[in-house]
Amino acid sequence: MSRSRSFQVRTTKEVQQKITVKYVKDLRDEDGNKLDGCVTSAGEVLIEKDLLQLDKVSTLIHECIHVAAPDLPEATVLRIEHAVFRAIKPELK
């Protein structure tokens, strides 16, 4: 006896967005706390210049997710970041 399954198919609009990335020395928030990266109100990604290379890549992935999907909760952004980073890390060494 076979079971049939139904799936809901949802179409999504392809995200095509230019992301500007700037590397900044001594990146801090408005309270003076040190940051690895952030997204400005203009949508630019700022990354701390003095991070180790792998940390820069991880932070860049994280901040680009915020740009592409600003409504995602931070926990979801972190899960996506970690999954993508684990997938590409072997290629970076």
Per-residue pLDDT tens for 2-52? 555 555 655 555 656 788 999 999 999 999 999 999 999 888 999 999 999
pTM: 0.79
Query: pLDDT per residue over 50-83, tens digit each?
Result: 999 999 999 999 999 999 899 999 999 999 999 9
Range of the domain at 38: 21-92
31 assigned to some structural domain:
yes
5 assigned to some structural domain:
no
R_g over Cα of the chain: 17
The pLDDT, as a whole number, for residue 6 is: 54
30 assigned to some structural domain:
yes
The pLDDT, as a whole number, for residue 43 is: 87
Number of structural domains in the chain? 1
Give the span between the Cα atoms of 55 and 53, in whole angstroms: 5
10 assigned to some structural domain:
no
62 assigned to some structural domain:
yes
70 assigned to some structural domain:
yes
40 assigned to some structural domain:
yes
Q: With CA atoms as reference, report the closest residue to 60 among 2, 11, 19.
A: 19
